[in-house]
Structures are given as structure tokens and as C-alpha cells.
Amino acid sequence: MTTETCLANAELVLPTETIRGSILFRDGLIAEINEGRAVPAGAVDCGGDHVAPGLVELHTDNLERHLSPRPKVNWPHYAAIMAHDRELASTGITTVFDALRVGSNPSRGSYPKYAREVATEIMALRARGALKISHHLHLRAEICSETLTAELGEFDDSDRVGIVSLMDHTPGQRQFRDVSKLEVYYKGKHGFSQAEFEEYMAYLRGVSAQNGAAHTAATVSAAARFGATLASHDDTTTEHVAASKSHGASLAEFPTTEDAAQACRAEAIQVIMGAPNLVRGGSHSGNVSAQALAEQDCVDILSSDYIPSSLLLGGAQLGQLWGDMARGIATVTKNPAESAGLADRGALELGRRADVIRFDLAGTTPVLRAAYVQGAQVG
């Protein structure tokens, strides 16, 4: 049976402009886009609210937060996955690449292996129709680990792995180039003494020296095998960017300096910045400001990172900063969708999936009114 929904008298956020008009969904796809304030019989009168594509999230730690809501607390996985799914739907995210870490250090009992098990559970829930939004996988490949190559080998091209990122948390470089900040973190979270901290840093540097090159090669190979987009993470120097380019990376997650972001722009590598960084007005870890990069035209995509509700807020904030709502919203819809190879969503265009959100602006803050996935309301 044909199903239709019409949202009328809305400010439609199209790929390059906003217009007042109406949009019709039919059988899960966008069937009509019309300009004007008319409200056809049976349509929803949006009263000037914005209607935009559903948000596309490429990197979020939110699932891990549900799986382990407190240190040493392991929550039932199915319940955690569904709670994560519904939280994202409630914020307007209609497509997510669930970030799962691959690479653990069993000899230290830290960061236990979990990715394959959770990926299988996500697929099982998806097959049962238990999830409201579209889920894909983002494998965060931890170069500084003992087991990365073996864990990557547990996945294949049937797993919907859309992104693989090169994560290198070796002390003294990238995100952890300031070891004093790392010291504060480990002593605060794990209660390390000075001797324990220094011993752990030596251990991590040894693991990196032993496995770094092989793990990098295995990650690049796995991304090609999955047909996934390869991303770098925490590029800090122009040398990091050059290495990312040589590996075939087309995305740079959270470059930490202006030099790195500008080098990405020169190499045609798309820059992902954290929406929380933008909304807060700066990085919580002392790295480059997302707003500063946006003002230099060095931000292509936003990620909600650790706060799902920041994604819509950040996209609208960029729209206001640039004086172009269509451009701002593209950083959380069209740009991330296309960067991950999803050509069927991310824009209000005929024939695309009817993954759509409706929101109002309370001053400068977006208020989500509704979210639709393939034409069905989910939030």
C-alpha cells in the first residue's frame, strides 16, 4: 500500500539554498518538492519550521557510553544498542556509523576486545527491525595495540563497514603529544602512581615500536578489502597529513592544529571537527578551535563525538556563522553522507531516501520537532 506524508509551509534546506515550500514522501522516498506557502489537504503545516535532511553521524563514542556507563560496568548489549539507537533518533540523527575500537592489549588487561561481538549484535537487531535508524560500522583501528591485525581479520565486506580510521595513541604524539596532560588523565582515572605511569608509558611506546608499521599496513589493507573510506585521526603536523595522503585517507578526523587542517585542505582531504568543540567555543583538550577552522574555510563535516545533540546544534551554528544555513546543514548531512559513499541520502532531492528532520529555532538554538527514516517518523 502506498504511504505518503507531506510537510508544507516549511523552510526547506536544499543542498545550496533554502526555500519556502513543501516536500512529499512516498513509499520511503522523496517524491515531490514544491515552492510556495500552500498547505495541501492532509499535509502537515510546518508554520515556517526548517525541514532538512536527516543528520549523518560518522564518528560517535555514544554507543560505548551505553555499553559501559561507568568504569567496570558492562551493560547488557542489546539494551545498550537500542538505547543508543533511540537517543540518536531523538536528536535528528537518521544514519550513524557506530564507532567500535579494534585493537586491545590483553597482556595488560586493558581495553578488552569487544568489536566483533557488538557488530554481530547490531546486525542481529537490524535484521529483526528493532532499530529506528540506519546503522553502519566505523572501525577505529588502534595502532598502538597488541591484537589489531587479528581483530581486523574477523570482519569482511558483509559487515557494512563504511569507515576505517587510523588511531595512534602512542604517548608523545598526535592527541597525546603533551605527555603531562596524559599523566593527569591516567593518574586521575586509574589512580596511577608516578612509577606506574612511567612504566605504562614505556609499555605503550614499546608496543608501538614493535607493531606500528605492521598495524598501519594492515589497517590500510582492511579498509580496501571492506570497500570502506579510510580516515586519519588527530593529525597534528604536515608530516602526519602527508602520511595520511600516502595511505589513501580521504577524511581527517579532528586535526589538532591549524597547520594540519590547512594541509588537509591543500591535499583535498575532508576535515571532520567535533560539534562539541564548536558549540563550547573551543577544544576541551586544548587543541585547535573548530570555530577558528570554520572561519578559515577548513571545516567540511561535523561529528557529535561524545554529545549526540550537538550535531544539529553545530550544523545550525555553522549556518549562522557563515550566513548560509544550507552550507551549515550540509556539514551534518550531505557532506558526511557523500564522504562515506552514501549517495542515496543526505540531501532533499527527488528520489533520495526520505530521511528528513523538522526543526524550529529558539533564538539560535534548534529544537527538533520530528525525524523521519524512509518516510516513517522515528523521533
DSSP per-residue codes, 221-242: HHHHHHTPEEEEE---SHHHHH
Find the mean pLDDT for residues 327-355. Answer: 98
Structural Rg of the chain based on CA atoms = 21
This prediction has a pTM of 0.93
User: What does the pLDDT read at residue 170?
Assistant: 76
CB 31 within 8 A of CB 25: yes
Q: How confident is the model at residue 133 (pLDDT cuts 50, 70, 90)?
A: very high
More confident residue, 194 or 115: 115
DSSP-assigned beta bridge partners for residue 50: 11, 359
Backbone angles phi, psi at 208, to 5 degrees: -65, -45
CA distance from start to end of the chain: 23
Give yes or no for residue 176 having a pLDDT over 70. Answer: no
Find the mean pLDDT for residues 90-96. Answer: 98
User: What does the pLDDT read at residue 112?
Assistant: 87
- C-alpha pair distances (Å), 144 with each of 17, 105, 131, 191: 44, 9, 33, 22
- Rounded CA-CA distance 141/214 in Å is 12
CATH of 54-345, one of 3.20.20.140, 3.30.420.40, 3.40.50.1000, 3.90.1150.10: 3.20.20.140
Q: Between vectors from CA 56 to CA 62 and to CA 161, what angle results, nearest 5°?
A: 75
CB 233 within 8 A of CB 274: no
Give yes or no for residue 58 having a pLDDT over 80. Answer: yes
Backbone angles phi, psi at 178, to 5 degrees: -95, 95
Nine-digit cell string for 348: 532533499
Question: How many Cβ atoms from other residues are within 10 Å of residue 8's Cβ?
Answer: 22
Give yes or no for residue 75 having a pLDDT over 90. Answer: yes
User: What does the pLDDT read at residue 111?
Assistant: 76
**Closest alpha carbon to 10 in 49, 36, 44:** 49
Q: How confident is the model at residue 26 (pLDDT cuts 50, 70, 90)?
A: very high
